[in-house]
Amino acid sequence: MRKPHSLICAGCLLLALLMLFLPACGSVTPGPVSTETEQPSESRPAEAEASGTVLWSAEDLGTYTLVRSDLKTDASPELKGVQLLMKAARELFGKTPAIITDYTGNGGKPEGEYEVLIGHTAREASVQTAESLGQNEFTIRWVGKKLVIVGGDDYGTFKAVQYFIENYMKPGTLAVSVPEILEIKETYTVSYLVQLPAMSGPTRYDTTMAAVCIQGIMNRESSSKVYLQGDDVAKRWFELFTSEGEWLSGEEFKTLTSFDELLDVGLPYLKKVVIWDTAVPASVNAATTAAGVEDGIVLTETMYNKYKAKLDKLPVLDLRNFFDGSVTGSLKNDCYAWAIENYLEKGLCSEDFICYYTDAATERTGGTTSYVSVRDWAVYNRAFVFDLSPWADEAPFDELDQPIGADYNSFIRMLSTQYDLLKQKKTYEVCGFFNFTKYSHIGNNTVSKHDTVPTEWETVYLISAYGGYQNTATEWCWNQSVHSQYAYGELKNQRPDDLEDIDATVDPNKVYLCVFMADYDSSYPLYNFLETIWKDPKRGTIPLAWGINPTLLDTYPDIISYYYRTATPNDVFTSDASAAGYFNPSRVPSEFWPTMIQHNKDYFKKMDLTIAPMILDWDKLDKESLDAFIEFAPDGIATIIIDFHGNGGKQATPFLYEDTMFCDQLENGGIVRETSLEEGYNILSRAIGTKNKNQAKFVLTRCVWTTPTYISDLIDLYRERNPNVDLEVVDIYTYFKLRRDNAS
């Protein structure tokens, strides 16, 4: 009869101990193996009553010799598989089978009759068997009298060894027995940690561009996860989410250290090559749109020629010398006219996202990958990608000879196309920011007559009129196509169920200060540096309201969940600019408000929010906007009103609207940034000003990217210099409750 199969616990991956049972393998120089294990035996293997073959038993470990490749180093997954098997044998029998390398030259061991071949040995049985395997496959089979355990690559061999141990080497097994007829072939899932080598200049830009295309497609189409170790921030998040108990802790990641390795892995998922024209920087965005829709890889001519042999079976979309300005009078805008006509207008692009990503004009020469790092998200979602100026009255700095308004016209055509396609049934996100140096008066751009903040506002002004909202700064935000796959549960805010539950009454002698930790309305600050601010030692010592755009749950739900579960009772979350995304309420078409209300209600519910303290608009909210906002932000509303067009827009004085308190941040507030304490003190002092006798004063202060320590020290300094002011710092729910009671 066959001996029972067995399983060894997967937790036995303590590979450091295994070197006790294996010779050092750091060198690839052929040579003999020194071992203290039993020497190979030429005796005939035991038969298990004609139903199975005993490889090793407690009485006899000399029947079958283990054979490994002489060319594998300690870092090889294949060698780690050998070590794992030796450890399993030691735990079963207290000793290990004989092991040799496949080297048969001077000082080596001759090929034996009874062998277990692990991995890519030089034995003919190993070579032929490995050649029959595809990607992510392994096999365990008899080839004559040799048992072959091998994968399509080294990691596949490691998975094959794991399978063998789990099925044939269970704890308590007295003999390792396998059927005489055995041909196991399995596929496995492995994720990939990509560590591209250091590069600079156009090579860095071009290689990263190609890599994120593969990443986006594989994260959409395969069961694997592809994670790029793009920078130190990406590394920190990877270490957190793969640590014990985190959502990626059970994921097996194979490390790839070159683009060539990534291309080999991703090639089966690619359906097209898209070659962009380096002489027309905007064509890289048209190419990215095409790549997302058609599962393509974006390459320069140089990269295509380098990898042409591997890519020769894929059709090619060649955009070189394709755009000549004959359509719009602009090379740049011909790119977008073509992409709109061939992809967006045909309904082939994402309904949820349009990506405002800087093209190659300002990034490629220096090898900057700020808006390359995020293109896995565009490809993953099949999103339309653009980079255009919102201004109708001037040419952009990157194409000063284009007809005035060419960029603007393309911008409006794109937005109106998306709005018409969605038929008012849903809103969409414009993710990414305008390019400061191209479209505003900054740095070398002395041509533009528009400053940066008005350009930001003008962009949102346009988007809001066509059913969209913005997630502004998204640069340097790696691996969104991985992070977005986290299945988050209920997010519980540190807030009361009802304002009436707050035990606080207005004291007319006090100044009430609410600290709003703001400007986490986009991916960049949420991903890149809120984590550092979050770890500040004084977080939790004073009440703070953290403004986060709830639509960032689409890209970084795991990061937001991390902030929620590590919040203290003094950390309360609200929305940021303006609610569920950055939009101007006054610009939302009346017929679109039902859709916008439902969108905000959905995201506010997901993040357990009921206050919108930073609505940005050109004029005070009208009745239509107020009716909308109290549906999803019933516990408090605050606005920032700036009229850049000079049409008479103004703030509203604080008032109760139905049962919701409405106020304006600019009424008694001020923007605090982390500069000197003295400067911060001056801002806070101006905001608090003088207090009327027997009348409580309320101050909502917006603190942009500041640490709790700075805020705490600033409040201490104010109290020290103003001992006669009874200043109380309250959480944002208490603030709006007291303001409401005071206005009643």
Same domain, 530 and 421: no
Rounded CA-CA distance 311/274 in Å is: 11
Specify whether 424 is located in the same domain as 546: no
Could you write out the DSSP letters of every residue in 59-77? S---SSEEEE-TT--TT-H
Residue 697 domain flag: yes
- CA 454 to CA 436: how far, in whole Å? 11
Provide the 3-class DSSP secondary structure of residue 27. coil
pLDDT at 669: 80
| Domain annotation covers residue 451 | yes
Asked if residue 167 and residue 214 are part of one domain, the reply reads no
The answer to whether residue 492 is domain-embedded is no
Q: In the prediction, which pLDDT does 52 show?
A: 87
Q: Which of 107, 380, 40, 39 is nearest to 217 (CA)?
A: 380
Range 534-558 average pLDDT: 98
Q: Within this chain, do residues 180 and 213 fall inside the same structural domain, yes or no? A: no
pLDDT tens by residue, 259-272: 999 999 999 999 99
pLDDT confidence of 51, banded at 50, 70, 90? low
Q: Is the pLDDT of residue 17 over 90?
A: no
CA distances to 547, 552, 559, 577 from 471, rounded to whole Å, are 14, 8, 16, 9
Check which CATH number belongs to the domain holding 126 and give it.
3.30.379.10
In this structure, is residue 528 part of a structural domain? yes
| H helix or E strand, kind and range, residue 335 | helix 331-339
Q: What percent of the chain has pLDDT over 70?
A: 93
The domain total for the chain is 3
* pLDDT(28) > 60: no
* 205 and 126 within one domain: no
pLDDT > 50? residue 7? no
Partnered with residue 183 across adjacent β-strands are: 141
Mean pLDDT of the chain: 92
516 domain-assigned: yes
Q: According to DSSP H, which parts of 470-553 are helical?
A: 480-483, 523-528, 530-534
CA distance 515 to 727: 13
Using the predicted structure, report yes or no on whether residue 29 has a pLDDT greater than 60: no
Structure confidence at residue 670 (pLDDT): 82
Same domain? For 471 and 513 the reply is: no
CATH code of residue 565: 3.20.20.490
Q: DSSP letter at 37?
A: S
Task: For the chain, report the end-to-end CA distance as a whole number of angstroms.
Answer: 88
Query: Considering only CA atoms, which of 133, 130, 112, 108 is closest in space to residue 121?
Result: 130
Residue 206 inside a domain? The answer is yes
Q: Is residue 416 located within the same domain as residue 516?
A: no
Determine contact, residues 226/215, Cβ cutoff 8 Å: yes
**Cα of 344 vs its chain's centroid, Å:** 25
The pLDDT > 90 percentage for the chain reads 88
Identify whether residues 720 and 645 lie together within a single domain.
Answer: yes
Question: Does 381 reside within a domain?
Answer: yes
Same domain, 173 and 296: no
Q: What is the pLDDT of residues 347-356, one digit of tens each?
A: 999 999 999 9
Question: Is the pLDDT at 47 greater than 50, yes or no?
Answer: no
Residue 41 scores a pLDDT above 90: no
In the prediction, which pLDDT does 68 show?
96
Q: Tell me the pLDDT tens digit for each residue of 214-260.
A: 999 999 999 999 999 999 999 999 999 999 999 999 998 999 999 99
Query: Do residue 183 and residue 201 come from a single domain?
Result: no
Is residue 445's pLDDT more than 50?
yes
Indicate the pLDDT class of residue 32, thresholds 50, 70 and 90: very low
- Per the model's pLDDT, the better-predicted residue between 623 and 38 turns out to be 623
Residue 668 confidence (pLDDT): 75
Residues 6+ apart with CB under 8 A from 128: 143
What is the model's pLDDT at position 74? 78
Separation of alpha carbons 315 and 14, rounded Å = 46
Q: How far is CA 88 from CA 85, 91, 573, in A?
A: 5, 5, 50
Is residue 184 predicted with pLDDT exceeding 70?
yes
Q: Does residue 495 fall inside a structural domain?
A: no
Identify which has the larger pLDDT, 36 or 160: 160
Please check whether residues 404 and 325 belong to one and the same domain.
Answer: yes
Q: How confident is the model at residue 652 (pLDDT cuts 50, 70, 90)?
A: confident
pLDDT of 24 higher than 90: no
Based on the fold, state whether residues 615 and 636 are members of the same structural domain.
yes
Question: Which pTM was predicted?
Answer: 0.86
pLDDT in tens, 471-499: 999 999 999 999 999 999 999 999 999 99
Mean pLDDT on 401-410:
98
Confidence of residue 62 (pLDDT cuts 50, 70, 90): confident
Domain ranges, residue 395: 197-247+256-483
**pLDDT greater than 80 at residue 733:** yes
